[in-house]
Each structure stands twice: as structure tokens, then as C-alpha cells.
Structure 1
């Protein structure tokens, strides 16, 4: 009976939304029995114009780092996409159980024609199980960009992963699916273990986290393993009613998969068959200025640098990018903005290239 009531409530809500006869809260939030649920998301258009390098991602028009071989050397490249658009459902039971499922349309980078899973998790009494943002992640030190992938060097792993997490107050710990990059014949022998502290005091918000995982490989004739770790710190400070500054710093040893937008391998196998960790560091700094009337100006810079002295001279060593944008919210559920983005990459051998691009975005939330 309860299931039937829930289905009827959903159908009634959907019908009201289609006919436009209900207010926003009535159209997208509803209750049935002991469940309070909501449907949320947005429709978004991204448009980009690459001035001197075609570094646009075809799926969402965000920028990638240029290559030094001039394969992307195309002046004046335009594109538009709506596949960043998002849809989610959240349900909370009277007993405290919360379930969240969310997706977007970027699984097909050219057509944007299928639903990609972003979040799918439940939580109860501080225990979370499923897929959501890694516990080794924080948005505290991140400045808003229109570019979907954002600035290099922000705190932690910049995507979602399957995990089991426990949170008590500002402290959270997790067991997560380990992320590995660049190790041939990789073997995951253990999960990634993380701990994060995130809190605020007055105008200061801060976060610090640590991660431990194992790098390992195995073939018919050889195998080796090495422990890896990563740490970050991030903070945000409201210095006045108008200005907020933010920043983050990261260090990794054998965990460059968790150094955001570094693109670096976690380790390599040397001539003796030994697994050698690769280290890296990164950071970001930015500021936002509120102009009133729903208008903000944001500026941010980020970088990552890998210790690749033992690898080929063509190996990427440094990534840098910077953004300046103007965002306007004319009404509560609408955001429009324009942005300039700069990207630069350099190899261990000193070869480098850069790219400049412009973006426009329009987002309608519900």
C-alpha cells in the first residue's frame, strides 16, 4: 500500500510540473508515508571558443591541457554542449535513512545521449555506503569556475568512488576503491584508506586529509609492491563582506591519481623489476568578490608538478591553469557567466605549450 501511495505521489507531482499548475516546492518535493523525497537537477548549456589550441572536451566543453607535439594546434575552435545537465533524486525516511541517486548525460561524449551515474549511496547514523565524492576530497579551498573540470591542484581526488564511510562530527574515515594510474599489470591488493577533518570557525573553513594505499603489480615471472600515501590541507577565509580567499596544497608519494589534474603515473617498474613510487605536489589559490545583485567575480590559479627525473624527457612534469570569470544570478534558479581560461603544460625535457580559451555558460536549476 505504501509503495502504491508513493507511486501516486510521484505521478501527481510530475503531472503538476508538466502542466505548470503547482509552485516549485510542490512540484519537486513530496511526501508519501514515512518518506520525504525531492527531485533536483539543472539544465545547462556550455559554449567554448578555443583561441589557439583545440583543447575542448567534446562532452562538456571544459578544457584539457595542451600537448607539446602541436596535434591540437587549431586556431579559433568553437563548440557547444548541454550534456553536463543533471538529474537527481533524494529520499529521507522517518527513521533517518537517506538515499541519493544522481546522474548526468556525459557518458557519451559526442551525443550526450545516455545517463552517467554520479552518486548512488545511502547513509544512516553516520555510516555511508555507495558511490559519492571520495573522502579524500574537499571543496573548501576551491574557487568557482565555469569550466567543468576546473583548476589543477585542488584538494584530493576530484571525482566520485565506491566506498564505505563513517562520520562523527568533523571527522570522517573511509575504505574506498583504490585509484591507480600508469602501472602495467596492476594488482589491487588492498583498499585505499582515508581520514579527513573538516570544520569551520567564524569566517574560516578548513579541511585536512590523509590517504594510504598500496601500489602493486604481478606477472608470471615478477611481482612487487610499495605503500603509497597522500596528504592535503585546504582553507577558505571571508576577509570581508565582499571578498573570500581560498587555497589548498597537496603532496603525494605513489598516489598521483589523487593529485588533481596532474595526469601523472603513480609508480613505474624499473629495469630490475622493482616498483618505484613517483611523487608529486600541487596547489591552488583563488578569490571571489561579491558585487551584489547576484553578481560575482572569481579568479583562481592552480598547478601540479611531478618528480619524474627518472622517466623519459617527453614525460609531462608540470600542469598549470588559471581562470577569471563573471557570474550573474538574475533570479534564484538561473546562473549565467563568461570565463577566460589559460592552460600550460611542460615536459621534463623543457618542452612546453599553452592554450587560451573563452567560455559561456547558462544554468537553470530546479
Structure 2
């Protein structure tokens, strides 16, 4: 039991560091009958300045990838938003049943202002049901960024999905809502999900080393209702690790390989498969990875640097298809008092097509976050 609690704490701490999640150590706690509950969250301001192309998302000011051959490149764009702010409720019954519901104000389309569901799940004796982080996901190898979407190439699917999961010690198995797309608008019109995604993850810690490995299997399929249909099996695997080199320095990294499951290759933007001229469905593969380091300067001050890249095998597709995406961040974060974080960050983005055309963008961010 103590070992399980330690693993849960490790995962929660990693998630908080990477995505700016509010920890629940200082939440508002209360009890009602057999239920212990807490309300937690944060208020956050993000401000961005795009130096040479406006790639900011209007909802959270994080960076998108630049548009290849954008004829409207204009230097100097500033914006600010508080839509990343979030609130959550966690309740645990004396029987051991736990329920967690959390939302932010990003809106379903990331434009900001409307409440968006992030987590809604319950757990009991190792069984989890609802929406939360995909089991094919890990924060072990990720380095903290101020940018909401962060670096490409991190381990697995970087969002939340509906699932049924069972966890025993370091091993988790899940049946999940499958993610991904087919190349081409017409192909997606006849795409179907005939089977769920099956995932398995092993995540643990030994001394100063944290590690996570995972695998995923799913089906790609299409059926146009006129006798034309096909399906393929797809898979993905990743490994991630973190190491405390000293009391001041830690290093992290991850590598992810997909075959027909590029929807699980974080921020690649790639399709899982395409329909060839014979009507056969063909998988598309990809590989991604990230590496980063954090340096503690003491006094609540840290410097973080990270780089990531995704590369897709899209030689059979049009020359304008995105083949490579990469970005990098360097930030300084400061916690002047408990529950308050301030930081500044430089970000670099670049993407390249299969035909060799490329574009890049440089940007700056400032963020301040007040946790409760």
C-alpha cells in the first residue's frame, strides 16, 4: 500500500511540474458524513510576444506551429489570456471510492472563455473509469515548460481520454477510446472505429531513476458503405526516464515509435494511415523524442531547457504533407512565496514538409500562477 501511494505521488508531482497543474496540498478541504472532499485549482495569466510570426493560440497563448509559406508573416504580436485557469473537486468516500472532476476555461475549441471538462473519473480498488490522462502517456521524461502544449515528442498521447483502467502496483492496463485520423478529408469521412485502443504501462522509480514504458494496439479501418472497406492493426511503444544527477541537476528524456498510430505521437499532426489507389488501407509510421534538463538555483528558482522532434514516414503522400516538427524551450521559473509561480520563456518552432519546404517561428512568454 505504501509503495502504491509513493507511485501515485510521483506521477502527480511530475504532472504538476510539466503542465502547471495545481497541487492539492493546499486545497480547501472539508468533510460531510462519510465523504472527505477538497476543492483545488489555480488562477493563471499567460502573456506572449510572437517575434516573427503570429503562432499564438488565442485561448491560452501557447504556440502553434508556423504555416509553411505563410504570405501574411508579420513581425511582432502581443496577447494575454487567463483561460488556462482551472478548478477541480476531489471526493473520497469511507468505502474507498474516489471521484475527481476538473475543468478549465479553454473551451472545446481552445478559444477561451467557456468551461471545458478535463478530468471526470472515479476509482475503487485499482479500477478507474471515466476520462483522465491516457494510460499510453507518461510525464516521467518531460521537462517543465510555460507553454501550455509544450514540447513535441513527449511520451505518448498528451491529453485525456475516456477509458476503463486497472492498476496493480506499477502496471496499468486500459481499454480506451481510440484516437487518430486517416490522410485526406474524404478518407476521414468513411473512417470508422471498430475496436477500442488497448494500452499497457509499467511505471516505477528506483533511487534517483524514474522510468516508464508503455505499449498500445489499435485498429485502423474505413468503410464507405458501398462495398469498399479495409482495416489494419496499428501499434505504438514508448520509453521515458528521468535521473537526478545531483541535488541541483536532473535530466529527462523519452522516445516514442508508432506504426499506424501517429495520433499518439505528440504534436506530430500526422495521420495514422491512408487509402491507396487500390482501396487498401496503408499504415503510416513515425518516431518522436525529447530531452531536457532542470537546474535548481535555490530560493524557489529553476532553469529548464528542453528540445523535442517528431518525424513521420510520409513519402507516399503529397509533397506538401508535414514530415518533421521540432521545438525547443528555455525558461526561468521563480516561486517567490508558497503557491505563487512566475516565469519567462523563449520558444522556437519549426516544421518541414515532405517536399523540403520549411518555416520557423520565435516567441517569448511570461506566466504567473496562483495556486490554491
State the TM-score, normalized to the length of structure 2: 0.90
**How many angstroms does 1:27 deviate by?**
7.7
Aligned to 2:328: 322
Find the aligned partners of 1:353 and 1:158 in 2 and give their Cα distance: 24
Alignment of 1:139-154 (within 5 A): 139-154=139-154
For the aligned residues, what is the CA RMSD? Answer: 1.4
Residue 208 of structure 2 corresponds to residue 199 of structure 1:
no
Query: Retained in 2: the 8 A contact 1:206–1:234?
Result: yes
Aligned to 1:77: 77
Find the aligned partners of 1:298 and 1:121 in 2 and give their Cα distance: 32
Query: Retained in 1: the 8 A contact 2:291–2:307?
Result: yes
**How many angstroms does 1:26 deviate by?**
9.3
Find the aligned partners of 2:227 and 2:111 in 1 and give their Cα distance: 44
Aligned to 1:312: 318
Find the aligned partners of 2:257 and 2:320 in 1 and give their Cα distance: 23
> Which protein shows a greater Rg?
1
Aligned to 2:291: 285
**How many angstroms does 1:25 deviate by?**
8.4
Alignment of 1:87-98 (within 5 A): 87-98=87-98
**How many angstroms does 1:282 deviate by?**
0.4
More displaced stretch, 38-47 vs 103-112: 103-112
Q: Which ranges of 4 or more aligned residues in structure 1 deviate by more than 4 Å?
A: 24-27, 108-111
**How many angstroms does 1:28 deviate by?**
1.0
Deviations 1:6-25 (A, max 9, x none): xxxxxxxxxxxxxxxxxx98
| Structure 1 unaligned blocks of 5 or more | 1-23
**How many angstroms does 1:221 deviate by?**
3.1
Find the aligned partners of 2:115 and 2:63 in 1 and give their Cα distance: 22
Query: Retained in 2: the 8 A contact 1:58–1:109?
Result: no
Aligned to 1:116: 116
Deviations 1:172-197 (A, max 9, x none): 00000000223421111100000000
Find the aligned partners of 2:139 and 2:78 in 1 and give their Cα distance: 30
Alignment of 1:23-62 (within 5 A): 28-62=28-62
Query: Retained in 2: the 8 A contact 1:252–1:259?
Result: yes
Aligned to 2:213: 208
Query: Retained in 1: the 8 A contact 2:88–2:100?
Result: yes
Find the aligned partners of 2:71 and 2:128 in 1 and give their Cα distance: 44
Find the aligned partners of 2:172 and 2:117 in 1 and give their Cα distance: 24
Aligned to 2:65: 65
Residue 261 of structure 2 corresponds to residue 255 of structure 1:
yes
**How many angstroms does 1:237 deviate by?**
0.2
Deviations 1:218-259 (A, max 9, x none): 012300000000000000000000000000000000000000
Cα pair distance change 1:146/1:271, threshold 3 Å: same
State the TM-score, normalized to the length of structure 1: 0.92
Aligned to 2:282: 276
Cα pair distance change 1:341/1:276, threshold 3 Å: same
Find the aligned partners of 1:246 and 1:309 in 2 and give their Cα distance: 31
Find the aligned partners of 2:194 and 2:238 in 1 and give their Cα distance: 24
Query: Retained in 2: the 8 A contact 1:41–1:85?
Result: yes
Name the SS of the counterpart of 2:191 in structure 1.
Answer: coil
Name the SS of the counterpart of 1:257 in structure 2.
Answer: helix
Task: Give the length in aligned residue pairs.
Answer: 343
Query: Retained in 2: the 8 A contact 1:66–1:72?
Result: no
